Amino acid sequence: MQDTNFTRIASQELKQWQDQGRPMVLLDVLPPEVHAARRLPGAHPACVFEVAFPERVAAAGADPGSDVPVVVYGEDNQTRDAPAAAAKLVRMGFTRVYMLAGGIADWMRLGLPVEGHGALPEDHRALPPDGSWTVVPGQSVVVWTGRSATSRHTGTLAVDQGTIRVVDGKVGGGFSMPLDSLADDDLTDPGLRAMLVRHLLSDDFLFAQRHPRAEFTVVQSEFLDGASPGAANYHVRGELLLRGRIEPLALPLTLAPLDGGVSLKAHFDLDRTRWGMDYGSGKLFRRLGMHLVHDMISLDVTLVAR
């Protein structure tokens, strides 16, 4: 059956080709660590997610000017790894491109032989087991972005303490940030950068002299069933202590296992005026001119805990 200029081939037919010794270039388009763990006999590694995919194809001996067919396979029918690779090959000029229908999953379902050490890497769909992990400073950070009518500033805030807990599939814990770690990343002039940071730490905004830390604590969490890898898989409700004021804060987050620990990602906006940072707010003042500052602050949280 033709499908956008490449042909699907069933597992039984591909096995016949191999048994007959028919010339072909067989490409495993999954990541290298998957290829090392589990692959079809004779398959060459050519991960479709790598920029070097064309070089991997050439290293396998495939030539767009040759009549030798190129056969690609991925995980299964639910993923687009093999169709994406086949389409790339067509765009690269290959005219005899085949895609294994059902991928390696169908091949194995039929009991056909595979090679490799068998220790597959962790599936990103997996959730962390129940446990408690301590946030690793230096690998955990909050990236902030603030805006005005004519400019935007972005920077970082360190995370120096925190715990992530999973109990019965529910997320708990929290983290804290020393406000004197606030940094700006976009201004190139050292004087302007220092002036901006000084202003953000002043009583116009964070009032760090009186309230030197910010803390977020999870109060309640809800697992989002069916979330794809990389998308938010939890919705949490918590409390954010900022400028001496505690306010509720709800946000989506992505929690995933990571080399004996966990990683947590969250991206959200918050209204700074809820925590008393009123400076330049258009809803609280008039005739601000160049002093207008948008109320919403964007935060991108990355926590690594082990």
Chain segment 107-117, per-residue pLDDT in tens: 999 999 999 99
Whole-model pTM over 0.75: yes
pLDDT digits (tens, 9 = 90+) for 26-40: 999 999 999 999 999
Its sign, for the CA torsion 74, 75, 77, 80, is negative
- Residue 99 · residue 71 · CB < 8 Å: yes
Instruction: Tell whether domain 131-305 is in CATH 2.40.128.110.
Output: yes
- The pLDDT assigned to 3 comes to 47
- Residue 216 · residue 240 · CB < 8 Å: yes
pLDDT digits (tens, 9 = 90+) for 177-195: 999 999 999 999 999 999 9
Domain residue limits, the chain: 2-109, 131-305
pLDDT of 233 strictly over 50 = yes
pLDDT of 2 strictly over 80 = no
- Residue 216 · residue 175 · CB < 8 Å: yes
Q: Give me 140's structure tokens.
A: 């955990």
Q: 120: Cβ–Cβ under 8 A, 6 or more apart, which residues?
A: 34, 37, 38
What is the CATH code of the structural domain delimited by 2-109?
3.40.250.10
Amino acid at position 1, single letter: M
